[in-house]
Amino acid sequence: MRGVRQIYPFTRPPELDTDKRTRVPVIIVGAGPIGMAMGLDLDLQGIPNIILDDDNKVSIGSRAICWAKRALEVVDRLGCGERMLDKGVTWNLGKVFFGDRKDPVYGFNMLEEEEQQFPGFINLQQYYAEEYLIDEIDKRELTSIRWENEVTAVSQGDEGATLSVSTPEGKYQIDCDYVVAADGARSPLRKMLGFDFGGETFQDHFLIADIKMKAEFPAERWFWFDPPFNRGQSALLHKQPDDVWRLDFQLGWDIDREEELKSEKVSERIHAMLGDDFEFDFEWVSIYTFQCRRMDRFVHDRIIFTGDAAHLVSPFGARGANSGLQDVDNLGWKLALILQGKAPARLLESYNDERIAAAKENILNSTRATDFITPKSEVSRIFRDATLELADEFEFARRFVNSGRLSIPTILDDSTLNTEDHDSFDSKLVPGSPAIDAPVKINGKESWFLKSIGNNFTGVYFARQGANAPEGAAQLEHDDIPVNTLVVSDMDVAGSGLLLDHKGLLKQRLDGQPGTYYLFRPDQHVVARWREFDSQAVRDAVARATMQAH
Amino acid sequence: MSQNTLSNPRIDDPDDFYASLIALHNGLTTEQSQSLNSKLILLMANHIGDRAVLDEMLSAVETDSPQG
């Protein structure tokens, strides 16, 4: 097996050589994709933070490979999106096969609308994503990673939290205002604090074999129900960069784990699937079972849980790391406003509520997919097979086929942070939706809409004429929580920071009739919109979105 | 009556309906499940009513693979 990657050296922390206690605004526990993204987001918000990790290397094996569009958009805001896109294998199409049929019974496209910077999905080994995040962290002033720094105890009070940390050269304590737990599915922090993690474990095993081979299969997600090479079970084929292919075989519950992991046995399965006449190398082999669980609450005063530490889903649907990155997106700006004294601590309740709603949605989708893939009863299996047989011929049946409902962003339409629409809009977006991308030109250069918004509250105004912002918009830039207004025009007129909607797609996607004003949260979600600009209405919406008393 | 009419998806949130349908069978024996399915088919057939549509459906599943 390959996959030996760089070791990140332990550096002696200054706390070991002084009695003075360090205090930082935020300590993040866990340098996985979620913890590192959190560090970068807080750095962008101007909040100093330290990431502690008990290990000294990136993920072993490819692990998470499917990065969804919204997750890529989040990571792009943090500075790593394009690198992931360049290295990753882009795919939008999925195909579903059933039994002995050679042709797929069903296919789907993950990208509903073209002309966006990021595709429906890319596949990229988790270790590449982590390495890119580490490189980006190295460039930043306000975030850093301490490798081989293991948290052994945590306590909290009214003023903050204290962590006890063990290193190869000694122990120290460190204080902070908030702890972000991003320490994964087995979260030591969650266990130390004795928090619940309710849900279910599915009685099934899956074998992942990532292999290196030269193959001509297209960059699509292929899923088999009951194929000849794995009778009564399912299988998956997926392309990764560097000629690595993800093969996933369902094994059932009653298996001999050691036997199944033997390379002869795995090779036998691979040859049965792909034919005898080819060569390959193993990159990573693993057997896993899966679980759907979540904590009752993600926010426990000064300690906030994110990613797998807070919620766990089956891999079918790619809703793990992708939803964890949406946690980060949701939390960063809220923590920053609280730490800057611009919003009350109860704003964290909205993180709790919004991301629990998302976790419920992800767990529901993941559980349903699992029930379809591994029916729990004979009659459930008969219905499943009947659905697949009908799917060949009948479009309606294809809608029932569930090989994993792939990650799409959660729409926070129930959030109390939103300001309800009073005008009507002919757009897929509603208050609570993440923004949709579109090509724009800025100062004559091709760019993307999503690159223009985020990190702060941003107003987007569809100009009536010329490139003028509405009267009163400029004053909003000087508020305690500032709102910068971008002007969108489909006419190429001179104006600094003007977004030229040269293809008219932004107008179309947002129903941007002249005079329309959208307000986006720092995480690029729509929070309010109007047909007429009114600076007081914008201020009220910002106050509502940041839980100011009013 | 065309194939297209039978094929056209008409149920909102198909995953939710499918989950409810399967949940109906929780804890039932095979005999009980068969009986439940038969009642469901008869209810749905009566609701459809139109004999031409029903015949279309009968032949749609008849052309499927025979027993075994």
Domain range summary for chain B, segments of one domain joined by +: 3-62
Q: Do B7 and A402 touch (CB under 8 A)?
A: no
Report the distance separating Cα B16 and Cα A374, nearest Å.
Answer: 17
- The residue among A240, A484, A390, A107 whose CA lies nearest residue B64 is A390
Q: Do A393 and B60 touch (CB under 8 A)?
A: yes
- The residue among B11, B35, B15 whose CA lies nearest residue B23 is B15
Q: Nearest C-alpha of chain B: how many angstroms from A396?
A: 4
Yes or no: say if A173 and A160 are a contact pair by the CB < 8 Å rule.
no
Domains recognised in chain A with CATH numbers: 14-87+123-195+297-346 (3.50.50.60), 439-545 (3.40.30.10)
Q: Nearest C-alpha of chain B: how many angstroms from A418?
A: 25
Report the distance separating Cα A367 and Cα A2, nearest Å.
Answer: 33
The residue among A399, A401, A402 with the most chain B CBs within 10 A of its CB, best to mutate, is A399
Yes or no: say if A220 and A94 are a contact pair by the CB < 8 Å rule.
yes
Size of interface A-B (CB pairs under 8 A): 51
Yes or no: say if A408 and A70 are a contact pair by the CB < 8 Å rule.
yes
- Kindly state whether B60 is in contact with chain A, defined as any CB-CB distance less than 8 angstroms: yes
Q: Rounded to whole angstroms, what are the CA distances from A245 to A4, A132, A263?
A: 18, 21, 16
ipTM of the complex: 0.89
Residues in chain B with CB shorter than 8 Å from the CB of A383 are: 18, 21-22
Question: Could you list the pLDDT tens digit for every one of the 550 residues in chain A?
Answer: 445 688 999 999 999 999 999 999 999 999 999 999 999 999 999 999 999 999 999 988 878 899 999 999 999 999 999 999 999 999 989 999 999 999 998 888 877 788 999 999 999 999 999 999 999 999 999 999 999 999 999 999 999 999 999 999 999 999 999 999 999 999 999 999 999 999 998 889 999 999 999 888 899 999 999 999 999 999 999 999 999 999 999 999 999 999 999 999 999 999 999 988 889 999 999 999 889 999 999 999 999 999 999 999 988 888 999 999 999 999 999 999 999 999 999 999 999 999 999 999 999 999 999 899 989 899 999 999 999 999 988 999 999 999 999 888 999 999 999 999 999 999 999 999 999 999 999 988 999 999 999 999 999 999 987 778 899 999 999 999 999 999 999 877 766 668 999 999 999 999 999 999 999 999 999 999 999 999 999 999 999 999 996 5
Query: How would you classify the pairing of strands A170-181 and A23-29?
Result: parallel
Q: Do A372 and B3 touch (CB under 8 A)?
A: no
Report the distance separating Cα A261 and Cα A256, nearest Å.
Answer: 9
Cα three-residue angle A92-A97-A102, rounded to 5 degrees: 115
Q: Nearest C-alpha of chain A: how many angstroms from B47?
A: 19
Which residues neighbour A420 within 8 Å (Cβ) at sequence distance 6 or greater? Answer: A431
- The residue among A186, A127, A125, A131 whose CA lies nearest residue A308 is A186
Nearest neighbour of A396 by CB, restricted to B10, B25, B33: B10
Cα of first residue to Cα of last residue in chain B, in angstroms, is 30
- Kindly state whether B33 is in contact with chain A, defined as any CB-CB distance less than 8 angstroms: yes
Which residues neighbour A60 within 8 Å (Cβ) at sequence distance 6 or greater? Answer: A3, A127, A284
Which residues neighbour A17 within 8 Å (Cβ) at sequence distance 6 or greater? Answer: none
Residue in A with minimal Cα distance to B28: A379
Residues in chain B with CB shorter than 8 Å from the CB of A381 are: none
Q: C-alpha dihedral over A158, A155, A15, A138, to 10 degrees? A: -90
Residues in chain B with CB shorter than 8 Å from the CB of A402 are: 15, 18
Q: Do A377 and B60 touch (CB under 8 A)?
A: no
Yes or no: say if A244 and A283 are a contact pair by the CB < 8 Å rule.
yes
Strand pairing partners for A487? A461
Q: Rounded to whole angstroms, what are the CA distances from A325 to A76, A308, A398, A409?
A: 11, 10, 30, 10
Which residues neighbour A387 within 8 Å (Cβ) at sequence distance 6 or greater? Answer: A397, A400, A401, B18
Nearest neighbour of A395 by CB, restricted to B9, B33, B64: B9
Q: Do A377 and B26 touch (CB under 8 A)?
A: yes
A540 SS3 class: helix
